[in-house]
Amino acid sequence: MKILVTGGAGFIGSHTCVVLLESGHEVTVIDNLCNSTAVALERVQELAGKPLRFIEGDVRDRNALDRAFAGGIDAVIHFAALKAVGESCGQPLRYFDNNIGGTISLMQAMEAHSANCLVFSSSATVYGQPDNVPVREDAPLRVTNPYGRTKLVMEQLIRDWCIARSEVSAVLLRYFNPVGAHPSGRIGEDPHGEPNNLMPYIAQVAAGRREYLRVFGNDYPTPDGTGVRDYLHVMDLAEAHAMALQYAAARSGCEVFNLGTGHGYSVLEMVAAFERASGRKVPFEVRSRRLGDIAELTADPSRARDLLGWVARNNLDAMCGDAWRWQKGISP
């Protein structure tokens, strides 16, 4: 297939591009590089041994999108979005404009170019604080911050579009906590400034780039008192996108899938696993709970297994080992 990948230079997008190229798809990336660099795309091509087409542009810019669609596109994977929860609370309009505005503009361009197949990056954030874990796709949706609201609204817009246009097919993928890196260590996650997420923070402490990890709360009702999450390897996530594309291409309508392993690890278990993988100490200090955090969030991924045939294959040691290989390569 000819695939357009929005946000393809980013963390999850770059790994997905490797998998798509290796599976024989033709890939066009549109990315405005607001949270990435073109170096990742050079490395993607190196790893896959195949070229891709890159349009540097914004998904809200219709001219840039028209260039991306020129030559024909069969399906779109839409990663492009701003994703920092804390930042979204301070700049909600920027998030609404970039994420929701970008998605509307993309759907308009898809319609104009008769591209009817869409795979969308949603997030477990749409569940807010669920009543039960592991959480299933039919759990109530309740968001707690503007970033989460953009994901929920985008899901709803895509659903409405699918209802209105019977030829359109969409798959909404709700990722839990993607971590790790390509096993080569050539591409990975390198957030600007202080990392918001746990794994890149731990990796930077292990590499000596930061002094210690702040553990946000050890008084949660979990076995060791720290927050429990469902971490999944970014390469497993990348493969899920290739499978979701096949699924969407074969039907119409809108489907939603959780993507996680179904197993939770606590912050302290993550620290211990990273110490094992890196052979480095990860000093930490316990601080108060982070505003808006919940005790435990894990996926019930059985729908993705049953309908997409997808299961996560990489374990926690692989997630930490690959993240460490990447981190070593980018640390001075």
Contact footprint for ligand WQD (CB under 6 A): 83, 85, 123, 125, 177, 196-198, 201, 213-216, 227, 229, 267, 290, 293
Biggest CA–CA distance in the chain, Å, is 56
Per CB under 6 A, which of residues 98..127 are in contact with ligand NAD?
98, 102, 121, 123
Looking at beta carbons only, is 26 or 58 nearer to ligand NAD? 58
Is residue 147 annotated as part of the catalytic site, yes or no?
yes
CB-nearer residue toward ligand WQD: 96 or 216: 216
Question: Measured from the CB atom, is 87 or 97 closer to ligand WQD?
Answer: 87
Q: How far is CA 88 from CA 64, 84, 176, in A?
A: 25, 6, 19
Contact 135, 298 (CB under 8 A): yes
Nearer to ligand NAD, 47 or 82 (CB): 82
| All residues at 6 or more sequence positions from 33 whose CB lies less than 8 Å from its CB, including other chains | 9, 56
- Asked if residue 148 binds ligand NAD (CB under 6 A), the reply is no
Distance in Å, CB of 142 to ligand WQD, minimum? 13
CA 213 from chain centre, in angstroms, equals: 23
Q: How far apart are CA 56 and CA 150, in angstroms?
A: 23
Tell me whether residue 54 or residue 201 sits nearer to ligand WQD (CB atom): 201
Cβ-based nearer residue to ligand NAD, 150 or 169 = 150
**Shortest reach from residue 64's CB to ligand NAD, in Å:** 8
Using rule CB under 6 A, residue 286 touches ligand NAD: no
Q: CA distances (Å), 324 to each of 175, 198, 269, 329, in order?
A: 22, 14, 16, 8
Query: Tokens 């906590």, residue?
Result: 177
Query: What are the structure tokens assigned to 260, written together?
Result: 């996680």
Q: How far apart are CA 105 and CA 78, in angstroms?
A: 12
The tokens for 262 are: 């179904």
The per-residue b/e assignment along 245-263, b for 16 or more CB within 10 angstroms, e otherwise, is bebbeeeeebbbbbbbbbb
CA distance 328 to 332: 8
Beta bridge partner(s), residue 172: 120, 256
Of the listed 95, 127, 147, 265, which one is catalytic? 147
* Distance in Å, CB of 67 to ligand WQD, minimum: 29
175 lies in the site for ligand NAD, by CB under 6 A: yes
User: Exactly one of 25, 27, 35, 296 binds ligand NAD (CB under 6 A); which one?
Assistant: 35
Minimum Å distance from CB 2 to ligand WQD? 28
Residue 301 binds ligand NAD, judged by CB under 6 A: no
For residue 79, give both structure tokens: 């990663």
Rounded to whole angstroms, the Cα distance separating 2 from 73 reads 5
Residue 58 found at the interface with ligand NAD (CB under 6 A): yes
Name the binder of 98 from ligand NAD, ligand WQD, none, CB < 5-8 A by kind.
ligand NAD
Tokens (6 digits) for 28: 């066009």
Residue 137 CA to residue 99 CA, distance in Å, equals: 22
Stretch that binds ligand NAD, among 24-32, 242-250, 308-316, 319-327 (CB under 6 A): 24-32
Structure tokens, 140: 């109530």
Contacting ligand NAD (CB under 6 A), which of 3, 13, 128, 298?
A: 13
Q: In terms of CB distance, is 218 or 258 closer to ligand NAD? A: 258
Q: Does the protein bind ligand NAD through residue 178 (CB under 6 A)?
A: yes
- Shortest Å, Cβ 196 to ligand WQD: 6
The residues binding ligand NAD (CB under 6 A) are 6-7, 9-13, 30-36, 58-60, 79-83, 98, 102, 121, 123, 175, 177-178
The catalytic site residues sit at: 147
